[in-house]
């Protein structure tokens, strides 16, 4: 028999006060818990009341993490019943605060795995120990070089792996005993951490070049070998490494880059939703990407592919896309461009005033975009002047300020609605409250990859997909249409987070169908819907 105390300390086994009299007797737990036996809904009610007494969002998150550390069923039942309220606490934006203060706040590892570049020999044993015989189907891995828009956070970034996985389970029912959060600690270039006595990570600069790529490859190969049914999700790597790693592995293993691909899907879905409201055509749009990094370039490529899928010739479609980064409009004579930026760089000869196009305002006034998406990490950069200029040249400007967390957003939804006199079709990266303007209530969609990656993952895992390809990604984006009523004044461009668990199913089904139609499933599947239902985990004792 397992040691009774070990059961209470194991969040996958512990039911706390919900252990029945019989279970307490069988497991040797008599007297190790208060006498009363509660059921799950009583526990949920009691913990929710405790949650409501916490003051700050950080205190709320710390409380919820205690529940997570103690009892996974209770945590996920509570989370699933309060998804709209808990998303910004468990996940972005509060998670940014816990990442910045990870070492100071540290109490326990939350079943995360810390792989150190200084001790590569331990890797296999560490992964085995962490799995402890569990059938791992999903890993979220980060090296934390580009956490949200807040930069390099070294080992602290492990929280993004933990948090993304929490959303996978709450939104799509991924079995929490089949997941593993991983941080690859390859050092940090964050001088604050390098000089902080409390910092818990490797206190040296980032290792780069071959040693970095060899370490990542050792991880990928070892994880694939130990967990043959693995879906490997990369999160918040630095801009160049993120794209390189995706290109290296995407045709070989079942893998996904959330910042590049996940964000591409949700923004395409948001633009489709916006066009459904404005009754305009995708291929008539002029697209401006502001901040052409992992997310910006990933989104641009996804929207460009959509133009081509709708029948426009690639060279014609290219003319509709503009990228702006630190240096202003990206031109093809710039040797510092990334390969993803080079695809969409323009020729100086197209413009009489090319030298003046070194800032967003000048570019907007020159090209008259109809869609502007911000992934720049630069707060307040969608100014009143820029928004008014854009709105003067298009009826329903589509404007998505997506930089996270809250303090980095390019604009607020409220300002965008006001400055465009109610015409802008807006989605934000973090949740935004309704905006009241001239008698209309505007609902603001959340264009955060969290609205799609859980369903995508459920579809991929349930269908035993060998790879994740563009067809599946496109199917995911298109599946989100039709949930919002576009005829309602002030309708949001994306479905609400309150329906996250429902539309995660929709996304999963679309993706799994695409996998099976393409014959890319590892195991034979006769009924896609049943395969998804069988994969879904529910929080219950
Ligand atoms: N809503 C979402 O789902 C979502 C998803 C991914 C990323 N994001 C957000 O997007 C932002 C970027 O993330 P990323 O992973 O692409 O990071 P990244 O570092 O890969 O890209 C940021 C890009 O912005 C550019 N940039 C920096 N300063 C600029 C300036 N003054 N003007 C124009 N461009 C500038 C950088 O050069 C870089 O190319 C972050 O804030 C992140 O939180 C949101
Ligand atoms: O984590 C988020 O909130 C979305 C996204 O992956 C990001 O990096 O900002
Ligand atoms: Mn991210």
Ligand 2 contacts CB of residue 370 (under 6 A) = no
Domain contains 42:
no
CA of 448 to the centre of ligand 2 (A): 7
Judgement on whether residues 431 and 466 belong to the same structural domain of the protein = no
Which of 429, 448, 467 lies at the terminal end of a domain, its last residue? 448
Ligand number nearest to the C-alpha of 260: 1
In the chain, the number of structural domains is 3
The tens-digit pLDDT sequence of the chain (541 residues) is 579 999 999 999 999 999 999 999 999 999 999 999 999 999 999 999 999 999 999 999 999 999 999 999 999 999 999 999 999 999 999 999 999 999 999 999 999 999 999 999 999 999 999 999 999 999 999 999 999 999 999 999 999 999 999 999 999 999 999 999 999 999 999 999 999 999 999 999 999 999 999 999 999 999 999 999 999 999 999 999 999 999 999 999 999 999 999 999 999 999 999 999 999 999 999 999 999 999 999 999 999 999 999 999 999 999 999 999 999 999 999 999 999 999 999 999 999 999 999 999 999 999 999 999 999 999 999 999 999 999 999 999 999 999 999 999 999 999 999 999 999 999 999 999 999 999 999 999 999 999 999 999 999 999 999 999 999 999 999 999 878 889 999 999 999 999 999 999 999 999 999 999 999 999 999 999 999 999 999 999 9
Pocket test for ligand 2, best of 153, 257, 258 (most atoms within 8 A of CB): 258
Pocket test for ligand 1, best of 143, 344, 377, 400 (most atoms within 8 A of CB): 377
What is the spatial distance between Cα 366 and Cα 205, in angstroms, rounded to a whole number?
42
Residue nearest atom 25 of ligand 1, based on CA coordinates? 291
What is the spatial distance between Cα 107 and Cα 65, in angstroms, rounded to a whole number?
10
The dihedral formed by the CA atoms of 446, 465, 12 and 233, expressed in degrees to the nearest 10: -50
Q: Are 494 and 445 in contact (CB under 8 A)?
A: yes
Judgement on whether residues 311 and 352 belong to the same structural domain of the protein = yes
Domain contains 116:
yes
Query: Domain of 332: which CATH number?
Result: 3.40.50.720
Q: Which residues are annotated binding-site positions for a divalent metal cation?
A: 235-236, 259
Query: Domain of 143: which CATH number?
Result: 3.40.50.10380
Ligand 1 contacts CB of residue 181 (under 6 A) = no
pLDDT at 481: 83
Domain contains 13:
no
Judgement on whether residues 148 and 246 belong to the same structural domain of the protein = yes
Collapse the DSSP code of 32 into the 3-class scheme (helix H, G, I; strand E, B; otherwise coil) and give the result.
Answer: coil
Q: Are 77 and 173 in contact (CB under 8 A)?
A: no
Ligand 1 contacts CB of residue 95 (under 6 A) = no
Pocket test for ligand 2, best of 429, 431, 457, 500 (most atoms within 8 A of CB): 429
Residue 417's domain spans which residues? 261-448
Judgement on whether residues 329 and 460 belong to the same structural domain of the protein = no
Which of 398, 413, 448 lies at the terminal end of a domain, its last residue? 448
Q: Are 179 and 139 in contact (CB under 8 A)?
A: yes
Judgement on whether residues 462 and 334 belong to the same structural domain of the protein = no
Domain contains 212:
yes
Judgement on whether residues 182 and 292 belong to the same structural domain of the protein = no
Judgement on whether residues 378 and 458 belong to the same structural domain of the protein = no
Q: Residue 114: how many CB atoms within 10 A of its CB?
A: 17
Please tell me the pTM assigned to this model: 0.98
What is the value of ipTM here, to two decimals? 0.99
Helices 239-249 and 209-226 pack at an angle, to 10 degrees, of 40
CA of 149 to the centre of ligand 3 (A): 8
Domain contains 4:
no
Domain contains 119:
yes
Judgement on whether residues 406 and 462 belong to the same structural domain of the protein = no
Domain contains 477:
yes
Which of 235, 253, 271 lies at the terminal end of a domain, its last residue? 253
469-503 burial: b if 16+ Cβ within 10 Å, else e:
eeebbbbbbbbbbebbebeeebbbbbbbbeebbeb
Judgement on whether residues 278 and 243 belong to the same structural domain of the protein = no
Judgement on whether residues 294 and 403 belong to the same structural domain of the protein = yes
The dihedral formed by the CA atoms of 129, 135, 140 and 141, expressed in degrees to the nearest 10: 40
Ligand 2 contacts CB of residue 375 (under 6 A) = no
Ligand 2 contacts CB of residue 404 (under 6 A) = yes
Judgement on whether residues 444 and 455 belong to the same structural domain of the protein = no
Write out the H or E segment, with its range, that includes residue 70.
helix 57-70
Ligand 3 (ion): residues with CB under 5 Å are 236, 259
Judgement on whether residues 344 and 234 belong to the same structural domain of the protein = no
Domain contains 23:
no
């Amino acid at each position: 028999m397992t040691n009774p105390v070990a059961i209470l300390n194991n969040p996958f086994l512990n039911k706390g006060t919900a252990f029945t009299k019989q279970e307490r007797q069988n497991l040797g737990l008599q007297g190790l818990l208060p006498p009363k036996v509660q059921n799950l809904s009583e526990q949920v009610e009691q913990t929710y009341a405790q949650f409501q007494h916490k003051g700050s969002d950080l205190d709320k998150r710390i409380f919820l993490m205690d529940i997570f550390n103690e009892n996974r069923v209770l945590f996920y039942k509570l989370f699933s019943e309060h998804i709209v309220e808990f998303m910004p606490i468990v996940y972005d934006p509060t998670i940014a605060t816990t990442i910045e203060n990870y070492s100071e706040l540290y109490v326990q590892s939350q079943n995360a795995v810390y792989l150190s570049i200084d001790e590569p020999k331990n890797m296999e044993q560490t992964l085995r120990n962490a799995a402890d015989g569990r059938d791992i189907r999903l890993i979220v891995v980060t090296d934390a070089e580009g956490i949200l828009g807040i930069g390099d956070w070294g080992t602290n970034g492990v929280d993004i792996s933990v948090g993304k996985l929490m959303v996978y389970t709450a939104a799509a029912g991924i079995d929490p005993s089949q997941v593993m959060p991983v941080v690859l600690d390859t050092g940090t270039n964050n001088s604050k951490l390098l000089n902080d006595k409390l910092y818990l990570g490797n206190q040296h600069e980032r290792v780069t070049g071959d040693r970095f790529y060899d370490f990542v490859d050792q991880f990928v190969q070892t994880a694939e070998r130990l967990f043959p049914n693995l879906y490997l999700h990369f999160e918040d790597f630095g801009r160049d490494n993120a794209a390189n790693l995706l290109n290296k592995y995407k045709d070989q293993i079942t893998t996904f880059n959330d910042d590049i691909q996940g964000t591409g899907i949700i923004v395409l879905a948001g633009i489709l939703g916006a066009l459904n409201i404005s009754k305009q055509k995708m291929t008539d749009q002029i697209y401006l990407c502001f901040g052409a990094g992992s997310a910006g370039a990933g989104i641009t490529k996804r929207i460009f592919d959509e133009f081509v899928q709708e029948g426009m010739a690639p060279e014609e479609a290219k003319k509709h896309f503009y990228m702006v980064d630190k240096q202003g409009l990206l031109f093809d004579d710039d040797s510092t461009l990334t390969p993803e930026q080079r695809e969409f760089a323009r020729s100086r000869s197209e413009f009489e005033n090319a030298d003046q196009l070194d800032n967003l305002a000048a570019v907007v006034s020159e090209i008259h975009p109809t869609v502007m998406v911000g992934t720049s990490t630069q707060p307040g950069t969608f100014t009143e002047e820029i928004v008014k200029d854009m709105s003067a040249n298009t009826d329903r400007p589509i404007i998505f300020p997506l930089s996270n967390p809250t303090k980095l957003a390019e604009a607020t939804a409220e300002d965008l609605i006001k400055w465009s006199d109610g015409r802008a079709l807006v989605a934000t990266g973090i949740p935004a409250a309704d905006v009241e303007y001239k008698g209309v209530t505007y609902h603001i969609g959340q264009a955060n990859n969290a609205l799609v990656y859980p369903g995508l993952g459920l579809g991929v895992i349930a269908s035993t997909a060998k790879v994740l390809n563009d067809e599946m990604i496109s199917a995911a984006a298109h599946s989100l249409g039709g949930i919002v009523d576009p005829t309602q004044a002030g309708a949001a461009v994306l479905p609400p987070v309150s329906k996250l668990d429902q539309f995660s199913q929709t996304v999963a089904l679309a993706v799994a169908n695409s996998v099976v139609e393409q014959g890319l499933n590892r195991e034979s599947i006769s009924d896609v819907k049943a395969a998804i239902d069988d994969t879904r985990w529910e929080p219950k004792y």
